[in-house]
Amino acid sequence: MKTIITGDRPTGKLHLGHYFGSLQNRVKLQYDYDTFILIADVQALTDNYDNPEKVRNNVKELALDYLAAGIDPEHSHIYIQSLIPEVAELTVYYSNLVSVARLYRNPTTKHEVGQKTHLFGNDGESITYGFLGYPVSQAADITALDGDIVPVGEDQLPHIEQTREIVRKFNNIYGETLKEPEAVLSSNPRIKGLDGEDKMSKSLGNCIYLSDSEETITKQVMSAVTDPNKIKKDDPANPDICMVYYYHKLIENPNIETVCKECKAGKRGCVSCKKELSKAIYEYLKPMQERRKYYEQHPEEVEKILKDGTQAARQRAKNVMKRVRKSMKLDYFD
């Protein structure tokens, strides 16, 4: 069986953008692959080093969101990055194989640095060694477990490319040792916000979280952008430029054809269409929220899942590091 490695930074709760962007895909794939899902707390610290409390709390939230979304501990290992010291070790060895200029060219890190002026200064002049280098530690995450496939969103592609470069360089210098992983894009690589923004994201305030109440969902949906040419309730409209329709499609509303027909014919007011969508989203999330509730009430089960997942990941990393140390002639007393 091939191995999947993927994960998220524990910096907040997961929303529909995460779900349709990657989680849904992971849930599907977990039955056909040996799946490892990491809670990237070390990576989260690269831009939250001054707020360990936040990272700590979100490790738990993220684990709950994973389980709620349908990551099945019988089929996937959920593990905590900082508890795999082999990854930190491998990061150090990799750091010799990447130039600083190459790291500066990574478009995702570049974009993030531009957004984090409070930490890294207006033109990124105070960027830290840790943040600039997090793609190197991500390469270690993936390769320390012999990952074959990395299912991620579009923004992660530069990191996977960088991982592949490191692997090729390593194998070239030290001999064939590491697996070169492949990125797999989920079917909806980027989910637009209901406000029409390119992306659902916490900083844009346009998120519907997997754990949101019906009330909160309705509030967000009511602010959704619809066809601007539709003024009156019975004006015909173009669903293809309406975010409400986009979300009806996304959650696969079984009523979708009627929605489309009525909208085009001017037989569907936007307010009632939004009400229908809010309800449908809530219904869609309900099984997840029920699972979340179960695990919230059974914290000892969650802890065991994380412990077991971490142990499985660590065992793999130990085996890979044996190979790495041998290839690098660091196997002194083996």
Query: Does residue 86 belong to the site contacting ligand TRP (CB under 6 A)?
Result: no
Tokens 């044996």 found at: 322
Q: How far is the CB of 100 from ligand TRP (least distance, A)?
A: 20
Cα(213)–Cα(180) distance, integer angstroms: 42
Taking the least distance from each CB to ligand TRP, the nearer of 163 and 206 is 163
- Binder among 3, 4, 5, 106 for ligand TRP (CB under 6 A): 5
Taking the least distance from each CB to ligand TRP, the nearer of 150 and 166 is 150
The pairing of strands 182-185 and 3-8 is: unpaired
Query: Does residue 112 belong to the site contacting ligand TRP (CB under 6 A)?
Result: no
Q: How far is the CB of 252 from ligand TRP (least distance, A)?
A: 25
Taking the least distance from each CB to ligand TRP, the nearer of 7 and 17 is 7
Query: Does residue 200 belong to the site contacting ligand TRP (CB under 6 A)?
Result: no
From its phi and psi, is residue 184 left (phi > 0), alpha (psi between -120 and 50) or beta? Answer: beta
Cα(150)–Cα(48) distance, integer angstroms: 25
Q: Per the structure block, which two tokens stand in for 251?
A: 């959650």
Q: Which helix (H) or strand (E) holds 217?
A: helix 214-222
Q: How far is the CB of 138 from ligand TRP (least distance, A)?
A: 4
Work out the burial of residue 54: count CB atoms within 10 Å of its CB; fewer than 13 is exposed, 13-18 middle, 19 or more buried.
middle
Taking the least distance from each CB to ligand TRP, the nearer of 40 and 243 is 40
Q: How far is the CB of 147 from ligand TRP (least distance, A)?
A: 7
- Binder among 35, 43, 46, 82 for ligand TRP (CB under 6 A): 43
- Are 47 and 13 contacting, i.e. CB atoms less than 8 angstroms apart? no
Q: Per the structure block, which two tokens stand in for 189?
A: 């690589």
Residues 6 or more apart from 325 whose CB is under 8 A from it?
331, 334
Task: Give residues 128-147 in contact with ligand TRP (rule: CB under 6 A).
Answer: 138, 141-142
Q: Per the structure block, which two tokens stand in for 140?
A: 């270690």
Applying CB under 6 A, the span of 58-66, 117-125, 148-156, 288-296 interacting with ligand TRP comes to 148-156
Q: Which residue is nearest to ligand TRP (CB)?
A: 40
- Return residues touching ligand TRP (CB under 6 A): 5-9, 38, 40, 43, 138, 141-142, 150, 152, 156
